[in-house]
Structure 1
Amino acid sequence: MSTRSPDSLSGTTLHERYVLGRRVRSDASGTGYTAHDLATERTVVVTVMHPHPEGDESAAEAFLARAQALADVSGRGLAATLGHGRDGEYVYSVTEFASGETLTDVLHRPDQYLRYSPATALSVVADVLQGLDATHRAGLTHGAISTDMIVLDDDGRVRLTGFTLLSDAAPDTRVDVHDMGVVLHTLMTGAAPANDTRPLRPSASVPEIPPDLDMLVANATEPNPRHRPRDAGHYLAMVDQVLRVLPGDYGNREAEDTRPIPVVPPPGEDAAAGAVPFWKRVPVLVGACVLVLALFAGGWAFVADSGAELPDLVGSDPDTAASELAALELDLDVSLGETYSDDIGPGDVAETTPEPGSDLEEGDEVVLHVSDGPQHVDVPDVAGGSEGDARTALREAGFGEIDVVQEHSADHEPGTVLSTAPEAGEEADREEPVTVNVSEGVIVPELVGMGQGEAGEQLDGLDLVTETVQDHHETAPEGEVIGQTPEPGSILPEEGTVTLTVSAGPEEDEEPEDDDSAAEEEDEGADDDNGGECGGAEAWDPDTTYDGGDQVHFRGRVYEAQHWVQTIPPSIGEEWGAWQEVGSC
């Protein structure tokens, strides 16, 4: 039997609760594993932080702080963060296991071209944006959204997974908006777009997609972040507006489900080999025929160019403006931008590029700059409230950049807003950050591994109250702290209580078993001696490493290891394919 691979934690148990299973993903934050939660008997995902240099606690503290912040956020379309902790050298976060298929898997069926109808694609994206909006309101971002990170279950619900827990980049809600635009494009076309310096337009791949959807995707995927919707809530409002006004069958959500549309390639072409489907080739064929007919009818004559003047669209809503431009029949390249305006209300067109009255020709680009309201507004009074409420109020006032500075305050509960800069009531530039000063309380230190006396002295020095409970531990010496509540990094008010779990040493030997227990043990021994009844399998041992093909017996059943496995009991190992039942004793 082999030893455990050093680069895999499969089979490891954290805090005697989470039994790590198969590896599911890895990023800059750490490696994610499916895991069995022994306390709740359900499957979760545990992300274990990559090892950090000894003595460098900043990365671990940042990891745990972000996990805690995510745990405080809930909403439709999110896989919930359930907890986090540190077990020796391992720093980890626990999230809900989202069962189902990723949207990438849904679209990539073997030998098929698959995509979503516009209404279904918008509904899926709207559900994800609802959860992402809650995240953005809490001052958090995802950082790596793609169809790989969105899971669709059997009931048609979607959940966003894979939040990064460590990142060198500053949080930017407009990056998440861009990624959601790419997701919407992928759902409607069936293929992830190639890198491009221009805004994406799904109608280039699927010509029947309405112009409103082109504008929605193009607006989110603008190369200049300044021209994108500012956050998930802003983009969600635009998605809902387009979804409500989709023409004809596109807007019939009652008839929609979450199954993608199969697009069958022409006979004789191999879909798996990447043949171009017929619906993508029709516009090319039609265009070629039209060109031939035009040349034939006109001989060597040239057709005079036609054009029109750009109408004055200032004050119109974007949909009305887009309809007026479409009526010019010049196949204009229309996109949306943002601008501040003291005169035009938010959401309406404040200016255009080019200016009204300019001459337009076939295929010209027109940008509708939508008002984002005035650039200078009064700072709302948020003092005395929570940090979360302050962020919400400031974002609703139009401030996009919010800096939080924690200050010690013995008179306020942790998380209470003390003041802002600029102060409440002052007129401030929305392009500039607003600083929110928040009471930090007392940060709970790491106490596990200390002696009871040392830990108590440290808490006394922080004006925190110590409570102690005892529990037996097989290896920790008597009097050593083996657990604490709340966890390190938590914030408490002065004179808050920290409960220490202190080792009482190993449990004493149990009393002699009664006659019935002894008889059961004798029977089990008889089964072990009788190799025929258990197929010659040995009893399962949590400290033994098993290779594929090894057999054990456990609770009267015989199991065979499917691959390298350690620690995972056969009764739950079947869930991950680690064990397979082959018979009974």
Structure 2
Amino acid sequence: MTPDPHTGLTLRGRVLIGDRLRGDGTVSVYSGTEADQPVTVTLLDPEVAADHASMQAFLGRARSLARVDAPGLARILEEGVDDDLVYTVTEHLPGQTVAQVLEGGERGLRYAPHAALTIVTGVLTALNEAHDQGVVHGGLGPRSVVLDGEGRVTVTGFRMLGIEGVTPRTDVHAVGSLLHTLLTGSHRFDDDTVPSPSSLVPGLSPELDRLVADATESNPRNRPRDAGQYLAMVEQVARSLPGADGDAGPGTEPIPVIDAEAESTGKRPVPLWRRAPFLVIAGVLALVLVAAGWALAPDDTAELPDLVGYTTEMAEVELEALELGLAYSYDETYSDDAQPGEVAATDPASGAELREGDAVLLSLSIGARYVEVPDVVGGTEAEARDLLRDTGFSEIEVVQEHSADHDPGTVLSTTPEVGEDGDREEGITLHVSEGVIVPTLTDMTRDEASAALESLELTAVLVEASSETVTEGWVAAQNPEPGTVIPDDGEVTLTVSTGPEEVEEPEDEETEDEAADPDPEEDPAEEEPEAPAECSAQAWDSGSTYDSGDRVQYEGRVYEARRWTVALPPNVGGEWGAWSDQGPC
């Protein structure tokens, strides 16, 4: 076997690269050592690293991951470039992956329901921290969940490139598939048609089937919106399951998969040592429930009212009035009936019986799914994008076509055509006269972005703004947005971060005399024009969720969330959208 050319090399004189563990054609993962401590080294493959945009995307992704500090996530210790090696160094995780555990038995292995939910709870708790900070995983599976000898669950293996279009709902689907694998020991299914766990393991609770089905819905809009919402659902089911399972093992230890025939004939019974801890727990739980009989009283239940057509504020008032400590959350859905921002549906449906701590999902309307395509032909692509987004289209594709009669960047036609009903889920295509396509310039330094534009014979217009999330000297925003077609001599505005805003010391208060005697040469009628707001808000991210009042900056403007929202860009929806335009920055 040809030795790996990177094994034995040293990064920055400190990190020794060991044996190659795996690779996918984009990155290769190696064991490593730093200061006599084991680490994991990820190298961007040389052919990919030769592409400047890919290298910057890799390093930008690494910086984003390094900012997420959560106990259940593998920590990135370092990222950088050493000669021609683009790399990250991640903490070493002792233990085995779920895949290694399940594939290690002579027969198949699976986890008991409580143990499976314990693992998934650990995964979702870690992902929730990432989602809260706008970071998605993009590659979760049995090989990226590590279990150590003390029962700790750690998530690793974040996808480093190719995460365009990945959202928190993508991660939720992956966790649902993982739960299916934990419960059944099988991953032999098409991701679009995940079978119910009970069809493979008879006797599993219908609630477990529902958990898997909800997360693996083929339409992402029908899934829990992020890890936090799915975590609430998992915890609710975990509380409702019986305290003892006939096939349950202690902790997160897997158990042999026993087929129905073996169970019915009494073969390979579950050893008493596996069942005893759970039988004891069940007995104690029963005594507690008997002693606290009030917990089962009818007063602790209520019927979910019909909230369709309510605003979020009205719906929350109704739910709080039930005094059940409900965990309510939101997602978005199309609706021909409810006005944008109003409740279009609930899960569970109105009339359902609710108990203390139950989760209620409120689906907010984002308007009708099918809307008439406005007339954008003859205008610029930027104007067309604005009008289409005001109409409700968020997926806009651009196709360049030759035209001797129109300036570059002019809209020639649309698909569907103007006046036809367009499907907001499918998006719309703009056919635009040929010009220069604006590249993605965020996650580049000022000089790198300027050079990229110069190579395309475009002019860079530089403005500066403070930013809490983007490193000083790096591009925080650009206008026009990536993918826009503009003339050969067009301009692109780059908002360059100056780092976090400095807090100025308050000036001494003016005396009464100073206040009473203004400068006679100063004309009080002359007022300074209002300066644009500083871009101190974080850049909008398609994978993040935002609550009412959150601010973001997008394409040189500041937007404030009117309500909970995810995925939709801030300039979508106009007056009825989830975002309120606060002006330029």
Give TM-score scaled by structure 2 length.
0.51
| Shift of residue 135, structure 1, vs aligned partner | 1.4
Q: CA deviation at 1:407?
A: 2.1
CA distance in 2, matches of 1:43, 1:411: 34
Cα distance in 1 for residues equivalent to 2:17 and 2:305? 58
Aligned to 2:255: 261
Correspondent of 2:495 among 403, 407, 413 = 407
Deviation above 6 Å: which 4+ runs of structure 1?
427-431, 435-438
Alpha-carbon distance in 2 for matches of 1:409, 1:135: 23
Q: Counterparts of 1:230 and 1:250 in 2: how far apart (Å)?
A: 31
Structure 1 Cα separation of the partners of residues 565 and 176 of structure 2: 28
Deviations 1:165-201 (A, max 9, x none): 1116333221111111011001011111311643431
Tell me, in whole angstroms, the C-alpha distance in 2 between the residues paired with 1:53 and 1:199. Answer: 34
Note if contact 1:348-1:371 (Cα within 8 Å) is conserved in structure 2: no
1:125-164 residue CA offsets vs partner (Å, 9 max, x unmatched): 1101111111122222111111111111111111111111
Residue of structure 1 in register with 2:411 after alignment = none
**1:21 matched residue in structure 2:** 18
* 1:372 is aligned to 2:372: no
Contact 1:349 1:369 in 2 (8 A): no
Say whether 1:424 aligns with 2:512.
no
Superposed, 1:323-338 pairs within 5 Å as none
Q: Which one of 9, 14, 17 corresponds to residue 12 of structure 1?
A: 9
Question: Against the structure 1 CA distance between its residues 406 and 227, is the aligned structure 2 distance closer, same or farther, given a 3 Å change threshold?
Answer: farther
Correspondence for 1:130 among 122, 125, 131? 125
Deviates more, 1:13-22 or 1:421-430: 421-430
> Are the equivalent residues in 2 in contact too, given 1:112–1:264 (CA < 8 A)?
no
Q: 1:203 aligns with which of 198, 201, 212?
A: 198
Following superposition, the deviation at residue 82 of structure 1 comes to 1.0
- Alignment CA distance shift 1:86-1:258 (3 Å): same
Do structure 1's residue 92 and structure 2's residue 87 form an aligned pair?
A: yes
Does structure 2 conserve the Cα–Cα contact (< 8 Å) formed by 1:119 and 1:252? no
**One-letter amino acid matched to 2:204:** I
SS in 2 for 1:23: strand
Separation of aligned partners in 1, 2:81 and 2:115: 42
Deviation of 1:351 (Å): 10
Once the two structures are TM-superposed, the CA of residue 220 in structure 1 deviates from its matched residue by 0.6
1:102 to 84, 97, 100: 97
Q: CA deviation at 1:262?
A: 2.0
TM-score after normalising by structure 1: 0.51
Q: How does 1:85-484 map to 2 (within 5 A)?
A: 85-167=80-162, 169-195=164-190, 197-250=192-245, 256-264=250-258, 278-279=262-263, 315=305, 339=333, 342=342, 347-349=347-349, 370-373=361-364, 375=366, 386-387=468-469, 407-408=495-496, 413=501, 416-417=536-537, 420=553, 423-424=559-560, 432-434=568-570
C-alpha spacing 1:315/1:68, structure 2 compared with 1 (3 Å): same
User: Structure 1 411/192 Cα, relative in aligned 2: closer, same or farther at 3 Å?
Assistant: closer
Measure the CA separation in 2 of the matches of 1:375 and 1:251: 46
The residue aligned with 2:71 is 76
Structure 2: unaligned runs, 5 residues or longer? 267-302, 308-330, 353-358, 368-464, 471-492, 503-534, 539-551, 572-578
Equivalent residue letter for 2:43: V
Distance 1:110 1:240, change over 3 A: closer
Q: Secondary structure at the match of 1:424?
A: strand
**Deviation, structure 1 residue 79:** 1.1
Kept after mapping to 2: 8 A contact 1:119/1:256: no
Instruction: Please tell me whether the aligned partners of residues 350 and 371 of structure 1 are also in contact (alpha carbons under 8 angstroms).
Output: no
Aligned CA-pair RMSD: 4.1
Deviation, structure 1 residue 210: 0.7
The residue that corresponds to 1:45 in the other structure is 40
Q: Distance in 2 between matches of 1:425 and 1:173?
A: 19
Deviations 1:230-259 (A, max 9, x none): 111111111111111113425999x84111
Alpha-carbon distance between aligned partners in 1 of 2:567 and 2:167, rounded to the nearest angstrom:
14
1:373/1:188 CA distance change after superposition, 3 Å: same
Is the CA contact (8 Å cut-off) linking 1:117 and 1:250 kept in structure 2? yes
> CA separation in 2, counterparts of 1:411 and 1:103?
41
**Residue identity opposite 2:15 in structure 1:** Y
CA contact (8 A) 1:315 1:348 kept: no
Do the aligned residues in 2 keep the contact of 1:74 with 1:131 (CA within 8 Å)? no
What's the % identity of the aligned pairs?
36
Letter in 2 for 1:413: E
State the Cα distance separating 1:369 from its structure 2 match.
Answer: 11
Shift of 1:52: 3.5
Question: Do 2:75 and 2:90's aligned partners in 1 also have CA atoms closer than 8 Å?
Answer: yes
Alpha-carbon shift at residue 202 of structure 1 (Å) = 0.3
